[in-house]
Amino acid sequence: EGIKEGIKEGIKEGIKEGIKEGIKEGEIKKSQEDILRILKARFDHVDDEIVRKINSTVNLTKLESYIDLGATCQSLEDFTQKM
């Protein structure tokens, strides 16, 4: 009986962690997409290197700062220098 409870609790905890991780990954992906959308709207074309840098960034705080930077930078060069 104790083993069954332990297994149930472990499964429950695993599902909880999986959901949490999935939400975080979704927030990261959405932030990456938002940055690229802002840059494309402002500057038409975004170099592949910038796209790669943004898509390889998984720190949500950093991505959020990139959103602000993308909205306020003077040029793509300005954006990449301040990243």
Is 36:67 a contact under the CB 8 Å cutoff? no
- Arithmetic mean of pLDDT, 37-63: 97
Q: What is the pLDDT of residue 6?
A: 86
Give CA–CA dist 68/5, Å, rounded.
48
Is 50:79 a contact under the CB 8 Å cutoff? yes
pLDDT of 71 above 90:
yes
Average pLDDT, the chain: 95
4-36 pLDDT, tens per residue? Answer: 888 888 898 999 999 999 999 999 999 999 999
Which residues touch 69 (CB under 8 Å, ≥6 apart)? 79, 82, 83
> Taking the chain, what is the end-to-end CA distance rounded to the nearest angstrom?
55
